[in-house]
């Protein structure tokens, strides 16, 4: 979080929970809010552990499992991607509407939600038609593609298809660059995002702005 964002949430009645360890460097910036930063698979599962006295139904436990699976991008369950697709179909405020829809926990999808999943898959496949470029950053193999939808899914697909270490997705519409890495890669892509794109993030997922430095780097990539 930026210092400006921290000032907005730094209130007596606020508890900030984050499973990204880099946030621990910002803890001293808070004066009023309680801050819980702990390395964990996801924020939702960290919340579940912290509020372990809550009596959750099996359906609520199940949807937490699926959201944790997507947030950690383990993707052991097909419903993780389907729920993410449904979340994308909501108009803002998306999160509030998603909570309202699944407050009682996981349940069979409605016809409208099934159509939303189909739409997500269709738009995701459209992104894969874009040209893929390949290159290297130091000892790491890199694939790069332009996309403006389903960024994480596009990155994961191209990384797996081309057996790359790092996937880069460039969004021309927003002038942003997203970095993802394979499960076996030991690189910290937040360093790339910070160095090349004035951005940041976590070791496995990061992003920043489309900069001249990044553009110069990718000139060496080939189709």
Average pLDDT, the chain: 94
Which token pair is 124? 């995701």
| Residue scoring higher pLDDT (111 or 24) | 111
- Percent of the chain exceeding pLDDT 90 equals 87
pLDDT at 18 over 90: yes
Give the tokens for residue 99: 């909570």
Which residues sit opposite 141 in a β-bridge? 136
Q: What is the pLDDT of residue 210?
A: 96
Q: What is the DSSP letter of 32?
A: S
pLDDT in tens, 183-211: 999 999 999 999 999 998 888 999 999 99
Asked whether the beta carbons of 144 and 221 are under 8 A apart, the reply is yes
The secondary structure of 159-197 as a DSSP string is HHHTT-SEEEEEETTTTEEEEEE-TT----HHHHHHHHH
CB 127 within 8 A of CB 149: yes
The residues pairing with 8 across neighbouring beta strands, listed in sequence order, are none
- Average pLDDT on 26-52 reads 92
| Domains of the chain, CATH where assigned | 132-218 (3.10.310.30)
| Omega of the bond leading into 63 within 30 degrees of 0 (cis) | no
| Residue 51 confidence (pLDDT) | 87
Kindly indicate the confidence band of residue 52, based on its pLDDT and cuts at 50, 70 and 90: confident
Q: Nearest Cα to 128, choosing from 113, 107, 143, 111?
A: 143
Neighbours of 21 (CB within 10 A): 13
Name residues whose C-beta falls within 8 Å of residue 185's C-beta, 6 or more positions apart in sequence: 140, 165, 166
Per-residue pLDDT tens for 70-116?
Answer: 999 999 999 999 999 999 999 999 999 999 999 999 999 999 999 99
Average pLDDT over residues 2-6: 88
pLDDT band at 31 (very low <50, low <70, confident <90, very high): very high
pLDDT digits (tens, 9 = 90+) for 155-194: 999 999 999 999 999 999 999 999 999 999 999 999 999 9
Percent of the chain topping pLDDT 70:
100
| 203: Cβ contacts below 8 Å, ≥ 6 apart | 181, 187, 188, 189, 190
The two three-digit tokens of residue 22, written as one number: 């880099």
Altogether, the residues listed in the chain come to a count of 223
DSSP E strands in the chain: the ranges are 15-18, 34-37, 132-137, 140-146, 166-171, 176-181, 200-201, 205-209
Q: Is the pLDDT of residue 25 over 90?
A: no
């Amino acid at each position: 979080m930026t210092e400006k964002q921290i000032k907005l949430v730094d209130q007596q009645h606020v508890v900030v929970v984050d499973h990204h360890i880099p946030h621990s460097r910002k803890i001293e910036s808070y004066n009023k809010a309680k801050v819980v930063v702990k390395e964990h698979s996801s924020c939702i599962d960290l919340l579940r552990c912290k509020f372990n006295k809550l009596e959750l139904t099996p359906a609520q436990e199940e949807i937490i499992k699926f959201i944790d699976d997507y947030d950690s991008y383990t993707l052991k369950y097909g419903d993780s991607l389907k729920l993410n697709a449904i979340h994308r179909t909501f108009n803002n405020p998306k999160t509030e509407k998603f909570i309202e829809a699944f407050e009682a926990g996981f349940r069979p999808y409605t016809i409208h939600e099934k159509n939303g999943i189909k739409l997500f898959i269709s738009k995701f496949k459209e992104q894969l038609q874009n040209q893929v470029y390949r290159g290297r950053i130091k000892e790491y193999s890199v694939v790069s593609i332009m996309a403006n939808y389903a960024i994480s899914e596009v990155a994961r697909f191209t990384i797996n298809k081309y057996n790359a270490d790092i996937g880069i997705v460039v969004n021309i519409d927003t002038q942003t660059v997203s970095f993802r890495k394979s499960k076996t890669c030991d690189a910290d892509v937040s360093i790339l995002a910070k160095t090349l794109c004035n951005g940041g993030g976590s070791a496995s997922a990061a992003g920043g702005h489309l900069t001249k430095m990044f553009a110069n780097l990718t000139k060496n990539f080939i189709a």
